[in-house]
Chain A
């Protein structure tokens, strides 16, 4: 066991972890932040995407000990301070960017990372960036549309339903 300290959604946490504790398990089991989902556990599906020091990573393929000293952001920290939905979350709701919702935390975290890097992405850039996020319900069109809308672009002509 080793002690790790990190900031998760703005709050400092210190816990003892085993060497083989995955970041997903740390978030879900130790911190009870169950918004980060485990879909495949083989780093394919992206349901577990979080931000570590501002970068999107698959938390099922990272150890908690590797996040010692890091700034971590999860889906639970995405809403605005007053509890209202973030721009990206609101766009997912508005454009029906989810059905069952299982992949949505990872989609929102990937979208947030993309828009930070590239505030006005093209549709092709959005699709390319979501390569590591799998959705089995929507067929992606409305997810892409939601992200484009969240970036402030006109989406009336894209990804027709």
Chain B
């Protein structure tokens, strides 16, 4: 690793100030960033740890019935405390392994927007609102391609608000070595329609499968899931071809619909 200083602010305001320094980088749970630093793929001058900011942690139900999760909340805490949105708790409880879930945070995962991470599919599939220290961003505007988001330099995800659906499920076809999604599909049925978000498959990162949303909004059953999409534009690597990932999108969507509760 290159050398850097570490700052550990205890408020969002202090963290935002620290992130205003040249080459400063926010550190969430570090489960992606620390391996990245070890590979010398990043060279911040200052790491600003968000782990000590109490106001960014915890799970609660907001006045409008949505589930609000602090950006610094670990996957393990979401798994244990997001019972009001069972599909989301189950997703969090199957990220990585127990030790990773005790460190990794929802805000860190969404800020990184790994194309194979689980949380982006839940946020997009639920039409969540990403709340930062500056503004609120709709999930539909937030994800902007592989590792790309609407966040500005130094902007911090303080909270994520999930409208709680009538039914939902996340199905992950796991890449066993990394435990990331080879393909993961999040399906959520709301009163005004069904949302289907796919992670792990597209070269553009997480996306909504609009054909499946239309078909499932008309008839919420596994039989209604349309034929699998084309493999064009799907990630193709040593783990799976684009065509295989496209096929999995269809399979995992059907499984998610069948399991939705």
Chain A residues within CB distance 8 Å of chain B = 2, 18-20, 22, 41-44, 46, 49, 52, 55-58, 61-63, 65-66, 68, 110, 113-114, 129, 131-133
Q: How many residues of B contact A (CB 8 A)?
A: 28
Contact pick for B98, options A2, A41, A132, CB 8 Å = A132
Q: Known interface pairs A42-B35, A56-B98, A58-B100. Does A20 touch B30 (Cβ–Cβ under 8 Å)?
A: no
The docked-state distance in angstroms from the alpha carbon of A113 to that of B2 is 33
Docked CA distance A129–B79 (Å): 14
Cβ distance B136 to chain A, nearest Cβ, rounded Å: 29
Query: From B97, which residue of chain A is reached at the shortest CB distance?
Result: A132
Residue of B nearest to A106 (CB): B99
Contact B97–A46 (Cβ < 8 Å): yes
> Which residues of the other chain, B, contact A18 by a CB distance below 8 angstroms?
3
* Distance of A61 Cα from B32 Cα, bound (Å): 9
Is the CB of B102 closer than 8 A to any CB of chain A? yes
Q: Is B76 an interface position by the 8 A CB rule? A: yes
Main secondary structure, interface of A, reads mixed
Provided the pairs A43-B35, A131-B98, A132-B96 are in contact, do residues A65 and B6 lie with their beta carbons within 8 angstroms? yes
Q: Which residue of A lies closest to B45 (CB)?
A: A19
Q: Is B31 interfacial (CB-CB < 8 Å)? A: yes
- Extra 13 A-B pairs, beta carbons < 8 Å, given A61-B103, A129-B98, A132-B100: A2-B6, A18-B3, A19-B5, A42-B35, A43-B100, A52-B102, A56-B98, A63-B6, A63-B27, A65-B8, A65-B49, A132-B96, A133-B97
